[in-house]
Amino acid sequence: MIIRILGEGQYDVTDAHLDELNKPDSALQSAADADNEAAFHTALNALLDTVRRLGTPLPDEAITPSDLVLPEQDASLTDVQALLSDEGLIPG
């Protein structure tokens, strides 16, 4: 799956890593539900770092549709709360 981090780029992450991505995504959802700003930023950083670690960066000139779009690292809690579904940012 292709995951875009806004303001940064795209990463190709295999579906086999979905469970590993869901751990920080669940923490992000919990922090957002609790309006806990500090925990939110920790969880968002962990989620983005996991995508970077597990994914292969796509070249900037590659034009590929993204399967998932994640907020930039400095996104606000309020902005991300508007993006969250019942499953967080990563479905599954």
| Residue among 92, 11, 83 nearest 51 (CA) | 11
State residue 63's pLDDT score: 82
Beta bridge partners of 85: 88
One-character DSSP codes across 22-87: HHHHHHHHHHHHTT-HHHHHHHHHHHHHHHHHHSEEPPTT-----SEEE--TT--HHHHHHH-BTT
pTM: 0.87
Helix, strand or coil, per DSSP, at residue 89: coil
State residue 91's pLDDT score: 66
* 54-67 tens-digit pLDDT: 999 999 888 889 99
* 3-56 tens-digit pLDDT: 999 999 999 999 899 889 999 999 998 998 899 999 999 999 999 999 999 999
